[in-house]
Homo-oligomer: A and B are copies of this chain.
Amino acid sequence: MRRHEGVALLLSFAVLTPQLQADDKTALGFSAAGLASQKELETRFDAALDAKNLRAWMERLAARPHHLGSPYGKENAEFIAGLFKSWGYDTRIEEFSVLMPTPKQRVLEMVAPTKFVARLEEATLAADKTSGQKKEQLPTYNAYSADGDVTGELVYVNYGVPADYEELALRGIDVKGKIAIARYGGSWRGIKPKVAAEHGAIGCLIYSDPSGDGYTQGDMYPKGGWRPNDGVQRGSVKDMPIYSGDPLTPGYAATKDAKRLTLKEATTLTKIPVLPISAADAQPLLAALGGPMAPESWRGGLPIPYRLGGGPAKVHLKALFNWDMATAYDVIATLRGSELPDEWIVRGNHHDGWVNGASDPISGLVALMEEARAVSTLVKSGFRPRRTLVYAAWDGEEEGLLGSTEWVEAHQDELRAKAIAYVNSDGNSRGTLGLGGSHSLETFVNQALGDVQDPAKKVPVLSRARAADILGGSGDAAKKARKKKGVGLAALGSGSDFTPFLQHAGVASLDIGFGGEGDYGQYHSIYDSVDHYTRFMDPDFSYGVALAQTGGRIVLRLSQAENVPLDFGPLVAALGDYVGEVRALADRMRDETEERNEDLEDGVYNAYFTPYETRVAPEKRTSVPHLNLAPLDNGLEKVRVAVAAFDKARGAREGKPLGAENARALDQVLLACERALTRDEGLPGRPWYRHQIYAPGQYTGYGVKTLPAVREALELRRWSEAEAQAVVVGKTLEGFAAQVDRATELLK
């Protein structure tokens, strides 16, 4: 579901606790001898991996369209389950009954100033052997769009995020009673119709501009891998930042007999009809727009002047859906832990695609499967994991993390009691290793992955990831990355199945995957095929094998470590950064408010505005008060003190193992640490999201907001809420410090 290209993740640059820098000889939770035998295990694990399996399974799983509710999706689930069973996993398919709208009627036509009927279809290509499976392909549409039949003037809204509407307002343009056309990019797609509707639009089109993933990026498919002009990006437009999963069962499992909301009650459905369209369908509409030129940065790659409208282009948009239920089939395969069966490591990747989904998600799934198979070969030669491994292949991720969310909601109590970590992957391709997750796992990850090699470059994948942070990063971020020896974890927003684990259940989570060097123009189209993947994404599946090595090391070390291998130093550093950012945000908003108000008083806007187009000065804003954010500092200080004591106690304990009972007790305390960063009441206005440090932004969608309750209150200029939430978050931090203190006690 997610895209790899880095829009979703805000990098965090917490500094590694120096004594825990990645090296060959230390690893949290392992004695020197234990580490040596773990490395020997990893060597055998690597030897068991075979790229041929990844290829064969991809060819099988992506052979036909396999979206949620499709016959082939069910067949795939059974095929995957069969393999897991054959490898000795205790395997079952769990079913959930979820809302899965499909198009009944789609019409898009320009009715003025000239007539044009949009094609709304992607072409079959001879060079792509599955692109012609028309009967099984879902048409191009956005899931959870409202039904609608509307006609109105068209307005170009750039990415369709709130800042874009401020630019429009400066030009006296609104979308009230009109249809917004937004380009893909700049936010999760679900944000676009949400914000359009908030501004009074009656419909929304989302198109793929060639500057995003079309010819501006490289040769179009099938010559290159980039989106052809008639390629369309399908996708969910659910208001996922409110709650994840099935729209009709927020917060509880969508079992067959669950009580369900009515469609009207489901707050995550869009308020207006939405349709995704191709560059080819968009160009005549955009070219027909009048009104002022769009701001420079809004202009895309089409060979036309980008104008804002509204009108004279007027379009008729009709989008009607079958509001059916579908069954989601989650494959759950368990390998019971030999010593600590009630401590779980959950490892998941979804199996449903929008069409054939070779890249998204099969490329990640087949790596996970090969990882699980290799683990099973170790088991066959005598290895037993200390802790329980749970492999999962989720269904219905594309519609909004349905399979994973419903499963987490169904197993919430068990997960809260038992889950040490969730490790997620999704689509994979050649490129750099992306690492996101809970910062308490940062040191562990750097230690665990030190010897995974980039298959093309033959350098450590961590070196490549660090290099990308340095040379691919901007000024300050690059400087921070350069100061670290290891790789910082990106804070997680949303966009894949880690969300219910991390942000709802409070399970420490990781998200892993390679990417950035494929021609990624097939996203959510019929061209996401084996043909495309094996030409432009990872032709020899070597990065798939690298992902299996990555996932396998993480899972095996989490399983075998003496105690849960958390290190809170990077979390402290990240929290320090976030608190600093929130404070700087308030100061910047104060300065900007003062400057704007001063400019308004001085007539600067009026003098600046061109007389040849409508211009409207922004409104004066109330000053930003100086806010009491001290509770954040105080909470952070308690965390600092607690973590320092924990580190000291753990250092003192080195070489003196805890007894089995104490070790188990310590694990119980440690696995609850991430939970201590959540609140049962959740975030303001969206109780489903419980994590107080990481959440998807309400107006970014995938993009993370750290310290979301405080940061978003500031962004929305709710000063008293920001102060109140600083108290709440400060208390959460204090609670986390108390939890760390409990661990310290056990170490003494």
Contacts and interface: CB of A to CB of B under 8 A. Distances in A.
A472 interface: yes
A603 interface: yes
A86 interface: no
Interface string A449-466: 000000011011001101
A665 interface: no
Interface string A121-148: 0000000000000000000000000000
A299 B482 CA distance: 29
B303 A303 contact: yes
A593 interface: no
A716 interface: no
Nearest to A223: B305
A413 interface: no
Contact of A599 (B305, B470, B603): B470
A607 B304 contact: no
30 contacts: A210-B303, A215-B303, A215-B304, A215-B305, A216-B299, A217-B305, A218-B293, A218-B305, A299-B301, A301-B301, A301-B303, A430-B612, A456-B611, A456-B612, A457-B606, A457-B611, A459-B606, A460-B607, A463-B607, A467-B599, A467-B603, A467-B607, A468-B608, A470-B608, A471-B599, A471-B608, A472-B608, A479-B595, A482-B595, A517-B610
Given A224-B305, A303-B210, A604 B471 contact: yes
Nearest to A460: B607
Interface of A: 210, 215-219, 224, 226, 293, 299, 301-306, 430, 456-457, 459-460, 463-464, 466-468, 470-472, 479, 482, 517, 595, 598-599, 603-612
**Residue with the highest number of chain B CB atoms closer than 10 Å, among A430, A470, A517:** A470
Contacts of A460: 607
Given A216-B299, A456-B612, A471-B605, 16 more contacts: A210-B303, A216-B305, A217-B293, A218-B305, A224-B305, A301-B303, A302-B303, A430-B612, A456-B611, A459-B607, A460-B607, A467-B603, A470-B604, A479-B595, A517-B611, A517-B612
A694 to B, nearest CB: 27
A605 to B, nearest CB: 7
Residue among A216, A598, A607 facing the most chain B CB atoms (10 A cut-off): A607
Contacts of A605: 467, 471
Contacts of A430: 612
A124 B161 CA distance: 44
A489 to B, nearest CB: 18
Pairs of residues from A and B, 5 with the lowest C-beta to C-beta distance, nearest first: A467-B608, A467-B607, A456-B611, A463-B607, A471-B608
A501 B357 CA distance: 68
Contacts of A610: 517
Contacts of A609: 457
B459 A603 contact: yes
A293 B211 CA distance: 13
Interface centre among A224, A305, A603 (most CB of B within 10 A): A305
Contacts of A301: 299, 301, 303
A463 B599 contact: no
A584 to B, nearest CB: 14
Nearest to A610: B517
Contacts of A224: 305
Contacts of A482: 595, 598-599
A51 to B, nearest CB: 17
Nearest to A302: B303
Contact of A607 (B303, B464, B599, B603): B464
Nearest to A459: B607
Contacts of A599: 467, 470-471, 482
A538 to B, nearest CB: 12
Nearest to A591: B479
A727 B156 CA distance: 57
A732 B584 CA distance: 43
Contacts of A479: 595
Nearest to A608: B467
Contacts of A218: 293, 305
A264 to B, nearest CB: 44
A606 B463 CA distance: 10
A603 B463 CA distance: 9
Contacts of A216: 299, 305-306
A466 to B, nearest CB: 7
A463 B604 CA distance: 7
Contacts of A456: 611-612
A588 to B, nearest CB: 11
Contacts of A598: 482
Contacts of A604: 463, 466-467, 470-471
Given A598-B482, A599-B471, A464 B608 contact: yes
Nearest to A301: B303
Contacts of A607: 457, 459-460, 463-464, 466-467
Nearest to A516: B610
Contacts of A219: 305
Nearest to A279: B303
Which of A306, A460, A604, A609 neighbours the largest number of chain B CB atoms within 10 Å of its CB?
Answer: A604
A430 B610 CA distance: 10
Contacts of A305: 215-219, 224, 226
A295 to B, nearest CB: 12
A608 B303 CA distance: 33
A467 to B, nearest CB: 4
Nearest to A307: B218
A294 B606 CA distance: 40
